[in-house]
Structure 1
């Protein structure tokens, strides 16, 4: 049974996906992205264009309407709807900067798989945005770190990847190393791959610290994190080639 959507803008977006899908047949779940949600067969570039054009036509969209739409999309039945959250964060930076970090808590409660976490958390929130409201962001990220929800624990790592790559600020790197240390014993691939990613992004401004951390924690870090980070240190690529 299809859920009736109360948010008008959300309905418009779903109808866009339905009318522009590459075939009329949607499917349930995708092993690669780790989501069991409905998936409309529409490629990422086409989806981006659709949302950009839709948003361009909504020049009078208010901040309240924007936040209500983001919250509604998080509850959507399809992976495509959830991915729109990240698009709207990217395409409306003025509104994004007004959001409380707490907003992510609701959205991530409904995330399924790495792609839905990363769509929100990867590079949408800059180091400048994070540092200008540091205590709020620190508290939110630490809450995610200790969450029972593995998607929020992944978010505690992914949120820091862009900021540590683009800033030397010790507050960011110290939080990043602390989060890695807290989660390094986990075996879930959502965590092990994110640890590797964050360590590799730390290399740009904190190379010696990363080298030291790998040496001191080689036995307890996920093997993939050690391998990919050492490769990046030696060759500049995680593959080592």
Structure 2
């Protein structure tokens, strides 16, 4: 398998583009720059994947692919931006599991994922891991559980959005262990991890891709 093909085949982030992108084009596609919209702040795993894919697509297709970050509302702002764009395949959404989870979290959305978008490729699979600020006196998950139970409502966890896997993973951890943690929401993994390292929050459950550089540091 060629390196580029393995990137596209490798994949929890999904790329969606509007359905009309698959209509027979009048000219060879792409004939102008293509925008890849990301629903999270720069520096996180979604942003990193988008920039890697944009670079490889630019090299492969000989046209510029530009990444545009539109964080906020659990990636709904980015999705709405793409849904309102012309149906020409030149505005693509780098989706995530939040793209499907949000349907259950929000009563009304300014788009319909089943009607307004078409899945193109599954790009990445990232395991989530738990990381804590180095001032938290624990070295294992069990030690963290004991510490959290000894400090009820004194533990703050960060996430990259309401419908993100980072939020749901932490909530699942709370349900399974019975610990209490207060949620602090950010517009992406990067700002959440910055505050974790700065001591403003205690713990983050995030993708290995986003957290590994800090773990190794």
TM range (shorter): under 0.3
Q: Which structure features the higher share of strand residues? A: 2
Q: Which structure features the higher share of helix residues? A: 1
TM-score (norm 1): 0.24
TM-score (norm 2): 0.26
Q: Identify the structure with bigger relative contact order (alpha carbons < 8 Å, sequence gap 6+).
A: 2
